[in-house]
Amino acid sequence: MFVTVNDIEEAYQALAPVVSRTPLQYDRFLSEKYHATILLKREDLQKVRSFKLRGAYYAIAQANQEKVARGVVCASAGNHAQGVAYTCQERQLSAVIYMPTTTPQQKINQVKFFGGSFVQIKLVGDTFDAASEAAQCFATDNQMAFIAPFDDPAIIAGQGTLAVEILEDAVKEQREIDFVVAAIGGGGLISGTAAYLKGRLPHVRIIGAEPVGAASMQAAFDQGKPIALSKIEKFVDGAAVKKVGDLTYQHARQYVDQLLAVEEGAICQTILELYTKQAIVAEPAGALSVAALDLIKEQIKGKTVVCVISGGNNDSSRMAEIEEKSLIYQGLKHYFIVNFPQRPGALKEFVSHVLGPDDDITRFEYTKKINRGTGPVMLGILLKRKSDLEALLARIDAFDDQYINLQNNQSLYSLLV
């Protein structure tokens, strides 16, 4: 059963007094960068700093009210939980919220803040899927209302209300939209957005952006049905879902024109760019849509593109990791295992004859103490220019022809870096 334009417009009317109407902003930097008109739908400015409030509030309002009175249960990596928590505080409902143990502390704290005394948090499992299974069992056992994060018509309709705002603002500003890019985790956002916009503007191309390490919608497209990925990368926590929903898959199949898988490093580079150039604080999933523009830059030249900044719940403690991933993605930061002669002056020789004039050592660590003539050192080197790498590798090889480039050995990289 597909969610219709009328369903979404009914949700829009119901949510108008509840949610913030977030701006659709022209972005000069991105527009000049991609030779297009780039508009940002700023859901990072929503009351809970993500679009998830829309679906959560509407789904609770549409749920079996007898069960809701006993309490609300949900599972979430963070943003859906905040939407549920905010709603339960507003409506004075008790809630039990299951979150993966890997959820950033900032999101856990925000759930506590929005839910106050009405919310109890349970950290279960390493992934959203494990937390979700536990939450559904708890809701069934206690006859409470389980509020699904994405695979529910009310959730899809609620998330789709941001598309109503996009279209109204575009009409008001006399803009013709050519592309809309939105993140995909479980698929609720892309389903509601696509269902509404395709119903109103069939020519608009809808593009879904997934992290490379959790491309569960692409896997569903490939197999012709939702399937569980054997493993996922959890860095883009707001979109790290092993298996999309049956309903969201059907909507995406029907309405989404293209899926893109975005590298973590590109997402990190975009997070930093949004912050430094536009003063936008985006979480990894929130930056997915903008990071995806690089993959379609030829398609969008001269076009009007809307990117949904879906969330701004970024933990400041992650910024060092984000910067690191960005530098590695740009080809500026590299890690090596190099055997150093265990004698005075070896490091000076390396700095003088191997390191380039603009290169910098960011890490120098003996991996183990040994009694032979050489010892392995883990080196981090920051380049000023990506083009300097080839010459650096040649000089390192002359210094130690047994060196290991850790970027080419992910097992060792994960262990040591």
pLDDT-flagged residues of the chain (< 70): 368-373
**What's the pLDDT at 372?**
64
Task: Please state the length of the chain.
Answer: 417
**What's the pLDDT at 368?**
67
Q: What is the DSSP string of 88-144?
A: HHHHT--EEEEE-TTS-HHHHHHHHHHHGGGEEEEE-SSSHHHHHHHHHHHHHHTT-
**What's the pLDDT at 57?**
97
CA distance 71 to 406: 50
Whether 97 and 120 have beta carbons less than 8 Å apart is answered as yes
Give 143-164 pLDDT, tens digit per residue.
999 999 999 999 999 999 999 9
- Phi and psi angles of residue 174, each rounded to the nearest 5 degrees, phi first: 55, 50
Residues involved in catalysis: 52, 310
Give 328-342 pLDDT, tens digit per residue.
999 999 999 999 887
**What's the pLDDT at 381?**
96
**What's the pLDDT at 411?**
77
Q: What is the DSSP string of 23-44?
A: -EEE-HHHHHHHTSEEEEEEGG
**What's the pLDDT at 343?**
81
Give 398-411 pLDDT, tens digit per residue.
999 999 999 888 77
